[in-house]
Chains A and B, each alone.
Chain A
Amino acid sequence: MNVFSVAAKNLTRKKVRTVLTIGGVAIAIAVLVSLWGFDTGYQRSLNADIDKMGYQLLVTAKGCPYEAATLMLQGGGGLRYMDESVYQKIVGDPRIDKITPQLVATSYDPARQAGKGGVSLYMGIEKSYLDLKPWSKFKLGKWFSSDDADEVIMGYEVAEYEQRAPGDKIFIPGRNEVLTVVGIFERNGTQDDGIIFMPLKTTQKIFELPGKLTGIGIKLKDMRQIAKFEEDLYNVPGIQIISLAQVKGTILNLISSAKAMTNSVALIAVLIAIIGVANTILMSVFERTSEIGVMKAIGASRLDIFKIVWVETTLICIGGGILGNCIALFGGQTIEYVLKKVLPYAPKGRLVVITPDILLVAFVGALVMGLVAGLYPAFRASSMKPIEAIRKGE
C-alpha cells in the first residue's frame, strides 16, 4: 500500500466524474496534437510541393506576388501574361542550367464534378519541361508528335477522373477544339497530376494567346548565383522573379497568423482543462474531508496527503494525455479531410503528420498540466487540521 495505489483507487470511486474529467483533458490534448501535427504536415507537404517543382526561380508577368505564388503551386489560371521575347532574352544566359516556358490556361467545363461544373487546367509546355522534372515518367503513351500537334498528355489524376487512355479524343469546352490523348504521366504527388498538358504553340493557338507566356521556370547551375541573377533581371520591364524561398515564406507567413490564432484557442482549451481538473479534484478533496482527517490522525504527514491528491490529479491528466494522443492519431484523417475542404490552398501530401516527438511532447504537457492543476487542491488537502477535518466531515 502506498500513495499511488490509494490515489488510483480513489479515482475509481466516482467513475463517471473521473471519466468526464479525463475526457476534458483528452480533448485539449487532442486539439494540441492535431494542431502541431497540422503544422508539421503542412510545412512538410508545402516543402515537398515546392521542391518537386523542379525549378528554383519562376519568371512571371509583374503583379501580385501572392497570385504568383498560387500560380507556381497550383498552376493558377493564367493570371497575367508576358511576352515570349522575355524568354528569348533570358534563355542564352550562361548561368542557366535548365529553363522552360509555360503558358497556363483554364476553361470552364459544365460536365465536371458530376454535372456541377468546374475548371479544367491546361498547361502549354515544351520538351524542356521534362528536363526540369526528371521524375515525370509516362505511365502510358509518349511525348507529343510535334511542337504544334493537337495532342494532350494528361496528369495521372485527371486521366483517371475522366477515364482517359492514349488514343482518346478530348473536347475543350468553349474552344470547340478536339485533341488526341497521346500520353498519361505517372502519379508524382504534385499539382501536375491534375493538369492537362499541351504543346506550348498549340495552347497559344487554342486560347488565342499568340506569343504569350505565364511563366518561365529556371534552374541555375549554381544556387549561390540566385541573388545576382535576380538583380540582373530586375531592369527587364513587365516581369518579376520569384524564388522558392520567397514562395515558401509568403505561404508560411499567410498560415502563421492563422496558426497563432489556433494555438491561442488550444492554449485556452488547455487552461480550461487545467481549471476543470483542479475544480474536480478540489471538490473531491472537500468530499473526503473526514477521510483526510483520519489519515492525518493515524500518522499521514502533510507531504503524504499532498502526494495522494497530487498523484490523483496527475493520473487523470496522464490518462487524458494518452486518450488525447489516441484521439488525435486515429482522428487525424477526419481532421485532414475537413482541413482540405476549408483551406484555400492545401499541399498535395499529408496535411496532418503526427510524429512521435509531438506525441511525447503532448504527453509530457499533460503530465505538467496534472502537476500544475493538482497544486492547489493538494495544498488545501495537506493544510487541513486533522481534528477540524474529522469533525467537519462528520
Chain B
Amino acid sequence: MKKSIVKAEKLTKIYIRGTEEVFAVNGIDLEIYDGDFIALMGPSGSGKTTLLDLIGCLDNASSGSLEVFGRNVSNVKESALVGLRRGHIGFIFQDFLLIPSLTAIENVELSLYFARRPQERKKLLQLFDKVGLGHCVNHLPKEMSGGERQRVAIARALAVTPKFLIADEPTGNLDTKSSQEIFDIFKKINKEEGLTIILATHNPKLGSRADRVIYLKDGKIVSKEESSLY
C-alpha cells in the first residue's frame, strides 16, 4: 500500500483584495502518495499555484488541515516550515529563478549549503549528466538557454534528494521541444527513482502524461481524472 505524504482536508486559502475576500483555494480535499506523478491543470487564477505553495510549505492555509509527512502544517510558523522544506521538498519555478551571479554548479551547491548537506563535486557532476547539462556546469545563467536553465533548476531541486518535487509551470517559458525534454526528465525521475512529483501546467498534452491529473477551477477541484471538463 502506498504511503500518504500529503493529506489536505477542506484546505482553504483566502486573500483579501481591498474589501473583498478571494478564495484562491476553496475547501480542497486531496491526498498525495509516495511515488505519485500529479499534474494540476486549470485556467489562470484557478488556484494551481496557491495549492502548490501550500503543499510546498511556502505559505499557510487560512482554514482546513494540511498534513505533510504526517505533520500538520496548516498553521505553522515560517521558521518551522523552513525545517520541513529544507532537504525534503524540491522546487522548480516557471522563471527558473537561478542566482544570476552564480554558475550552474554553484547554484546547485548553494541549495546543498542551505540544506546543510555538503556534497562531493563528483556526485554533482553525475547529477548534471543525468539532466543533460554536463557541458555547461560552469556557465552563468545568462550564458544558457531557457531549457538549460530549467535543467539547472531541476538539478538544484534534486541535489538535496527531496521526498517530493513541486514544479510550478516548469515548461511555461520554454519552446515545445524543450518542454518535452524537461517533461521527459520528470517522467524518468519519477519512474526510475520513485520520486513524487506535483506540477502545475497549462499544457494539456504534457499534463496528460502524468499519472493523475487534477483539474481546478475557482479554487476547487472539479475533476481528478477526466480532461473533458477542462
A13 at the interface (CB under 8 A from B): yes
Question: Within the complex, which residue of A12, A291, A302 is in contact with B99, where a contact is CB–CB below 8 Å?
Answer: A291
Question: Which of B56, B95, B100, B114: most chain A Cβ within 10 A?
Answer: B114
Question: Which one of B4-12, B34-42, B85-93, B205-213 is at the interface?
Answer: B85-93
The residue that B101 contacts in the complex, of A12, A296, A304, A394, with Cβ under 8 A, is A12
Known: A386-B58, A390-B93. A299 touches B114 (CB 8 A): yes
Asked if A298 contacts B91 (CB within 8 A), the reply is yes
Establish whether residues B109 and A390, one from each chain, have CB atoms under 8 Å apart when the complex forms.
no
Chain B residues near A13 (CB-CB < 8 A):
100-101
Contacts of A9 in B (CB 8 A): 101-102, 106
Which A residues lie within 8 Å of B111 (CB)? 298-299
Query: Is B112 part of the binding interface, using a Cβ–Cβ cutoff of 8 Å?
Result: yes
Cα A1 to Cα B113 in complex, Å, equals 7
Interface residue total, chain A, C-beta cutoff 8 A? 27
- Whether the Cβ atoms of A6 and B99 lie closer than 8 Å is yes
Q: How far is the CA of A294 from the CA of B116 in the complex (A)?
A: 16
Q: Which residue of B lies closest to A1 (CB)?
A: B109
Which residues of the partner chain A approach B99 to less than 8 Å between Cβ atoms? 6, 291, 294-295
A390, B97: Cβ atoms closer than 8 Å: yes
Complex: A296 Cα to B112 Cα, angstroms: 13
Contact: B113 with A2, CB < 8 Å?
A: yes
User: Is A299 a contact of B97 with CB atoms below 8 Å?
Assistant: no
Write out the residue numbers on chain A whose beta carbons fall within 8 Å of the beta carbon of B148.
none
The listed residue (B79, B95, B101, B114) touching A298 by CB distance below 8 A is B114
A300 engages B97 (CB within 8 Å) = no
B29 within 8 A of A: no
- CB pair B110–A6 under 8 Å, yes or no, is yes
Whether A301 sits at the interface, judged by CB under 8 Å, is yes
A6 touches B93 (CB 8 A): no
Q: Which of A2, A291, A297, A394 interacts with B85 by CB under 8 Å?
A: A297
Q: A1-B109, A298-B86 are in contact. List 11 more A-B contacts (CB 8 A).
A: A1-B110, A2-B113, A6-B102, A294-B99, A298-B156, A299-B160, A300-B82, A301-B82, A301-B114, A304-B114, A393-B97
A sample of 20 cross-chain residue pairs with beta-carbon separation below 8 angstroms, ordered by A number, consists of: A1-B109, A6-B102, A13-B100, A290-B97, A291-B97, A293-B97, A294-B93, A295-B110, A297-B56, A297-B58, A298-B91, A298-B160, A299-B115, A301-B79, A301-B82, A301-B114, A302-B82, A385-B59, A385-B78, A390-B97
